[in-house]
Amino acid sequence: MSELFVNAMGDTGNPPEPVTSESSKPRSNPDRNYPDRPDTVYLYGTCLVDLLQPQAGLDALKLLEREGINVVFAEQQTCCGQPAYTSGYDDEAREVALMQMQAMPEDWPVIVLSGSCGGMMHHHYPKMFTGLPEQQQAQAFAERVFEFTEFLVHVLGYQPEDQGEPETVAVHTSCAARREMNVHHTGWALVDALRNVKRVVHDHEFECCGFGGSFCVRYPDISGAMVNDKVTAITDTRADRLISADYGCLMNINGALEFQQHKIRGEHLASYLWERTTGEKHV
């Protein structure tokens, strides 16, 4: 690659940096400036966790409080607006986005329990309000949005003390966590820090599970083909558990796992970390 690179770049190429391999070692994220450890944070549960997997939200809250952080769960929070935005309904998405920013006005970090909603608030809010009076507000808000795992790793330097029995775990990383937020490494790092847990990689792990918001109902057969392949890849690993830090993907994958009568169900990483560090298991 070096030779190829030098030829292609001519004289203007910078000297190559040391090769970094695909490991779970959390890399510094070049896109972000991480703040010092804050006293207080907002916890953003997301609409799917709120209605379908609320325990994950409560576990995240308890975990952050155990680390000595005051957690504010703003009652006015609803949904980040992504479903309307990705369907092309910008005005409708903006109304909802504005409500979220109003619900969390203090200058505290907003910890989001999903890479997908995090990507929406961090990357797309500023774009949505470009040229509008709320542009600065959106930009400032976006700067303090952090995905749950990146906040634990990069801001708190959190190291989980594993109390659980040995087991194997397959991890599904959402596409937005991986490609928009660049936080797949922090999710892996947290799982790898559990000393009795072995993380197993599944086939085509980098590939989308087929959820894609409204995509899965607009094109059910394409989405179905994708989630079926994902389920096969995950169950082929024979992992004891399936973990993800995004409930959107888990709703999709769990629905297909149950449909195909597999026993395993995906759980949110927040709940898994709480369980492994306390021994409390939710049934």
Partner 1 sequence: MSERIPLHNLSFKERVDRDLNDPALRHNFREAMDFLMDKRKGRFTDDHQLQLLRDRGSSIRKRALSKLPDLLEQLESKLRENGIRVHWAETPEEANSIVLDIARHHGAKTMIKGKSMVSEETELNEFLEHNGVEAIEADMGEFILQLAEDKPSHIVMPAIHKTKEDIARLFEQNLDDCEYTEDVDTLIQSARKELRRRFHAADIGLTGVNFMVAETGSLVLVENEGNGRMATTVPKVHIAMTGIEKVIERLDDLPPLLTLLTNSATGQPVTTYVNMISSPRKQDEDGPEEVHLVLLDNGRTIPYADEEMRQTLQCIRCAACMNHCPVYTRLGGHAYGTTYPGPIGSILSPHLLGLEETKDLPSASSLCGACGEVCPVRIPIPDLLRRLRHEGVRKLKKDEAPVIRGHGAKYTHTEKAAWLSWSKLYSSPAMYRTFALSATLLRGLTPSKMKGWTDYRTSPKPAKKSLHSLVKQYRKQQDQYSEKQAGDKG
Q: Which of residues 38-77 bind partner 1 (CB under 8 A)?
A: 45, 47, 49-55, 57-58, 61-62, 73, 75-77
- Member of 121, 189, 242, 256 binding partner 1 (CB under 8 A): 256
* 3-class SS of residue 199: strand
Q: Hey, what are 160's tokens?
A: 């989980």
Smallest separation, CB 154 to partner 1 (Å): 19
* CA 184 to chain CA centroid, nearest Å: 8
Kindly give the pairing relationship between strand 40-44 and strand 70-72: parallel
For partner 1, what does the binding mask look like between residues 12 and 31, x meaning CB under 8 A? xxx-xx-xx-----------
* 232 near partner 1, judged by CB under 8 A: no
Measured distance CA(59)–CA(179) in Å, rounded = 26
DSSP-assigned states of every residue in 28-80 = P-TT--PPPPPSEEEEE--HHHHHH-HHHHHHHHHHHHHTT-EEE--TT----
Contact segment (CB under 8 A) with partner 1 among 5-13, 142-150, 165-173, 273-281 equals 5-13
Residues binding partner 1: number (CB under 8 A) = 84
Nearer to partner 1, 35 or 213 (CB): 213
Measured distance CA(203)–CA(205) in Å, rounded = 5
Beta bridge partners of 111: 43, 146
CB atoms within 10 A of CB 236: 12
* 226 near partner 1, judged by CB under 8 A: yes
* 128 near partner 1, judged by CB under 8 A: no
| DSSP assigned state of 216 | H
Cite the beta strand spans of the chain per DSSP E.
40-44, 70-72, 110-112, 145-147, 167-172, 197-200, 241-244, 266-268
Smallest separation, CB 97 to partner 1 (Å): 9
Smallest separation, CB 28 to partner 1 (Å): 13
Smallest separation, CB 36 to partner 1 (Å): 26
Nearer to partner 1, 112 or 176 (CB): 176
Smallest separation, CB 232 to partner 1 (Å): 12
Nearer to partner 1, 4 or 133 (CB): 4
- Member of 32, 134, 213, 232 binding partner 1 (CB under 8 A): 213
Nearer to partner 1, 27 or 238 (CB): 27
**Span 142-201, contacts to partner 1 by CB under 8 A:** 175-176, 178-180
